[in-house]
A = this chain, B = another copy of it.
Amino acid sequence: MALPISRPSLGAMKRYFPILTWGAEYDRDTFVSDSVAAVIVTIMLIPQSLAYALLAGLPAEMGLYASILPLVAYAIFGTSRALAVGPVAVVSLMTAAAVGNLGLEQGTADYALAAITLAFLSGAILLTMGLFRLGFLANFLSHPVIAGFITASGMIIAASQAKHILGVEAHGHALFDRLGSLISHLGDTNWITLAVGAASVAFLFWVRKGLKPLLVKLGLKPRLADILAKAGPVGAVAVTTLLSFAFDFQGRGVSIVGDVPQGLPPLTAPTFDMEVWGKLFGSAILISIIGFVESISVAQTLAAKKKQRITPDQELVGLGASNIAAAVSGGYPVTGGFARSVVNFDAGAETPAAGAFTAIGIALAALLLTPLLYFLPTATLAATIIVAVLSLVDFGILKRTWTYSKADFAAVAATIALTLTFGVEMGVSAGVALSIFLFLYKTSRPHIAEIGLVPGTEHFRNIDRHKVLTHPELLSLRLDENLYFANARYIEDYILDRLDHDQPIKHVVLNCAAVNVIDLSALESLEELNRRLCGMGIKLHLSEVKGPVMDRLQKTHFLEELHGQVFLSHYGAMKALGPVNGRRPKLAAE
């Protein structure tokens, strides 16, 4: 007897395994497109993953491992057709900060184990958020905070790589620590290292700016030229490795990558020491949310170009699975990378299978190419990082926010300053807290406009901005905010203060068109206001109360105790209370 597999359960399967949807339509053409994209992304990803592992303070091979199984996991669970997952700069920096907080030495087995554990915790957090649909939490990171954080992180990363370019020792978490340490070691500069590093930086910048026009001039199609230019880092790696081999850079004091174990990723497990978990948990939350935000932005941008949709809560599951995959295969925290996803998209990736094919490419590299990397100078990797992250640095956000909104400016400036001074975790946490506080502060002192009738219409506007009709016995106030605990007292005080000056007023009508919530604290303030106005011989009325707010008020005694009425429209209130057609209202602005 066949068990009846019900449709809803297939739907649920498809929700959690998007591969079932696109996999069913997979054909030869898609395979070709995906494979081409995979080859190009693989070439781009090899030097990046080595470099970012070093940035995270980990052995280079962990970068390769983090670019294999996590990509396969994302291909199964992810909803974006173009997102390329793997180690990225900002998350690598945050990994170094988080594991550094434990007081572990870079390069030790404990340090690597902590990074694996961080990937595991981050994966578990992302999965939990996905299953409980908590993706909205990422919305509390405002655009200015993200922009400030990325800019500051880019600067810290670039500064952190300067030591590799100079061939000196330097330590520290935040920018100023690092720079101080760097300057004190400047005397130890290794000139060959500096030459390799500086030449690589110059070459990579030229590749970004000059190679594409050159290739186009040589007759290549612009898109192909663009993609080839992305392979620049591989060129730098190949050339400097050859030079290093030929001229014995190692013997001249140049730091090289050295032995990178050859083979597929090992099977690993995180530690289950609860003390370590406790110390890493806060960092894991930050890494998860930052990684998710970065990833979802690029995924949504690319999906929109092809009129596709992604499912944010399922993206959490996809990224969570990727990080768990990283933890069991010797990797460290991963997320969707901006630059490589754009390359993947431009190169023609049609489905997440492109990611799985990239994983095969990186696995082949881990199996076959690692011995060739022995002589690769770390200065070359540092150069690829510097060139990559400097494109993240965008001080334009300071100017844009300054013009538009001082609150947004304060959030971005504080995030940049605190990230540079105290490091990534403090910077982003303080930025989020500040942007929430500024929003609450603004709503705690709301704009309250006295309004009058725009002649010839039934529409009411601010008497200070428009020529409008008002009535001497009627005070019309538009409350431009939700009424809740943070502003309940302010609004009550404002209205009582306002009435101190105005003797002839008999009716106060509060226009509630902008009031979406009245919480219990505000309700108590309104009750008090109603009593106080009654004592002064003034009636309190409401107008344009919205459905959901009215539903709630009807559960209380407020509407019975209210001395005035509730009007559907403000015009209705004015018609009923201020005889618009009787005693002529004055034109307020005249």
- Chain A positions within 8 Å of B, measured between CB atoms, are 136, 139-145, 304, 400-401, 403-405, 407-408, 435-436, 439-447, 449, 454, 457-459, 461-462, 464-465, 480-482, 484-490, 513-517, 519-521, 523-524, 528, 532, 544, 546-548, 552, 555-556, 568-569, 571-572
Contacts and interface: CB of A to CB of B under 8 A. Distances in A.
Contacts of A442: 517
Interface centre among A465, A520, A532, A556 (most CB of B within 10 A): A520
Contacts of A547: 449, 461-462, 464-465
19 contacts: A136-B444, A139-B444, A139-B487, A140-B485, A304-B532, A400-B520, A404-B520, A404-B555, A408-B519, A435-B485, A436-B440, A443-B482, A443-B517, A446-B516, A457-B571, A459-B544, A459-B572, A462-B546, A462-B547
B524 A143 contact: yes
Which 4 A-B pairs give the minimum distances between C-beta atoms? Answer: A142-B485, A458-B458, A459-B569, A143-B521
Nearest to A465: B547
Contact of A457 (B141, B401, B458, B482): B458
A326 B443 CA distance: 36
A302 to B, nearest CB: 13
Contacts of A546: 447, 449, 462, 480, 514
Given A459-B571, A571-B457, A439 B484 contact: yes
Contacts of A445: 136
Nearest to A296: B489
Copies of this chain, count:
2
Main SS at interface, chain A: helix
B517 A514 contact: no
A140 to B, nearest CB: 6
Contacts of A569: 454, 457, 459
A193 B95 CA distance: 62
Contacts of A519: 142, 405, 407-408, 439
A516 B136 contact: no
B489 A139 contact: yes
B520 A139 contact: no
B403 A490 contact: no
A140 B486 contact: yes
Contact of A143 (B436, B458, B520): B520
Contacts of A400: 520
Given A136-B441, A436-B440, 6 more contacts: A139-B486, A143-B520, A403-B556, A405-B519, A439-B519, A443-B517
A520 B408 contact: yes
A139 B401 contact: no
A230 B274 CA distance: 56
